[in-house]
Amino acid sequence: MGLRKVYRLKDREVLALDDVDLNVRQGEIFGVVGQSGAGKSTLLRCVNLLERPTQGTVSVDGEDLTAMRPARLRAARRRIGMVHQHFALLSSRTVAGNVAFPLEVAGVAPAQRKRRVMELLDLVGLADRARAYPAQLSGGQKQRVGIARALASEPKVLLSDEATSALDPATTESILELLGDLNRELGLTILLITHEMDVIKRICDSAAIMEAGSVREAGRVLDLIGTPGSLLARSLFPLPPTDAPDAVALTYPRSYDEPLMSELTRKFDVDVNVLGGAVETVSGQSVGRLNVQIRGINRDAALDYLDGKGLLVEVAGR
Ligand SMILES: Nc1ncnc2c1ncn2[C@@H]1O[C@H](COP(=O)(O)OP(=O)(O)OP(=O)(O)O)[C@@H](O)[C@H]1O
């Protein structure tokens, strides 16, 4: 809450976080998007206090981390796992050795450690690669090791710093699926940062858009998409600019049973011409944006009808 981070350099100051408030609900997957330099990584490092915020507080599970003494903070930080973009594995240790590392640091006895490592590798689908070294693994497998290691201390919260950015699309998909499963099966709260809108679309319940150290928009993904002027809707479903006359941008914030476009032509005798757009499943709902040309004498009534149905209707200049 009220997070502010100023980096003091020799000749200037960089305001990396400017009064950032975020509320991540327990058990949800929360995605933070933004351009490079927006402050996403700084935010993540401040959440587990790898970096001290210049001002503001960070609470996890109702406890204010920023007010804790070092010993308590160390214990609290074990409840926060972290996954990195470039995996950050120890190349001289096997897969099992990497996952065991945080358990060794925490003083877990060898027999228990071994059992826990196998459980974790099973969880991420890598039980048969326990003796392999990181160099022998694919990118997706390395990230699975990173995730198993992050889960070793049974965290309640997982922070993910661009976990899929170094992976190809199919591998990205399988890692996102794994994160979704862990969220559901373990009740794990996940705070992830990404520059890929697809990640938000695929697994996030809530999202925030950051720009120049500030949060521009935050909330549940479906609520945001249904908000007039939503930046998130525009970013998730970018529409190419059109100079077609009578073009309208329609945002569908939920699934509709009725065939709205054919209803329009029937009820209002207008011509409807779809120019482009995308409809996809987000949080289990079919949502999307379309550019359509709607022409005819009853055009205004047709647009009001769509508005009444809960679609967002954006007409240039209206
Ligand atoms: N250790 C640091 N010292 C000085 N300035 C920093 C430091 N870390 C980040 N910054 C600056 O803070 C701002 C936010 O950077 P940050 O890395 O948090 O952005 P980001 O959204 O994560 O971008 P990226 O996706 O490129 O990592 C940038 O202007 C960056 O140059």
Q: What is the mean pLDDT of the chain?
A: 92
Is residue 194 lining ligand 1, measured as CB closer than 6 Å? no
Q: How far apart are alpha carbons 260 and 266 in whole angstroms? A: 10
Please compute the mean of the pLDDT values over residues 155-173 and round it to a whole number: 94
Which single residue is written with the structure tokens 């550019």? Answer: 291
Share of the chain above pLDDT 70, in %: 99
**Among 102, 97, 95, residue whose Cα is nearest residue 133:** 95
Per-residue model confidence (pLDDT) at position 318: 54
Ligand 1, from 3, 5, 6, 7: best to mutate by most atoms within 8 Å of Cβ? 7
Reported as a single tens digit per residue, the pLDDT across 64-122 is 999 999 999 998 998 999 999 999 999 999 999 999 999 999 999 999 999 999 999 99
Our CA dihedral for 102, 104, 105, 109, rounded to 10 degrees, sits at: 120
Q: Are 248 and 292 in contact (CB under 8 A)?
A: yes
Reported as a single tens digit per residue, the pLDDT across 106-133 is 999 999 999 999 999 999 999 999 999 9
**Among 186, 218, 185, residue whose Cα is nearest residue 204:** 218
Name the pairing type of β-strands 189-194 and 157-161.
Answer: parallel
Q: How far apart are alpha carbons 312 and 74 in whole angstroms? A: 48
Per-residue model confidence (pLDDT) at position 317: 54
pLDDT of 173 strictly over 80: yes
Q: Whose CA is nearest to atom 25 of ligand 1?
A: 36
CB-side neighbour CA atoms (13 Å) of 267: 14
Residue type, position 13, single letter: E
Say which residues have a Cβ less than 8 Å from residue 210's Cβ, sequence separation at least 6. 20, 32, 33, 34, 38, 39, 40, 43, 216
**Ligand 1 geometric centre to CA of 16 (Å):** 6
Is residue 34 lining ligand 1, measured as CB closer than 6 Å? yes
Say which residues have a Cβ less than 8 Å from residue 284's Cβ, sequence separation at least 6. none
E-assigned strands of the chain?
3-8, 13-20, 29-34, 59-60, 63-64, 80-83, 157-161, 189-194, 206-211, 214-220, 247-252, 271-282, 285-295, 312-315
Token digits for 41? 């990584």
Domains in the chain and their CATH numbers? 3-225 (3.40.50.300), 238-315 (3.30.70.260)
ipTM confidence score: 0.93
Q: Are 130 and 56 in contact (CB under 8 A)?
A: no
Reported as a single tens digit per residue, the pLDDT across 14-60 is 999 999 999 999 999 999 999 999 999 999 999 999 999 999 999 99
**Ligand 1 geometric centre to CA of 98 (Å):** 28
Name the pairing type of β-strands 29-34 and 189-194.
Answer: parallel
Per-residue model confidence (pLDDT) at position 226: 86
Q: How far apart are alpha carbons 54 and 4 in whole angstroms? A: 6
Token digits for 279? 């409809």
Q: How far apart are alpha carbons 59 and 80 in whole angstroms? A: 12
Q: Is the dihedral of CA 205, 285, 276, 300 positive or negative?
A: negative
Calculate Rg over the CA atoms of the chain: 23
**Ligand 1 geometric centre to CA of 41 (Å):** 7
Q: How far apart are alpha carbons 213 and 41 in whole angstroms? A: 11
pLDDT of 316 strictly over 80: no
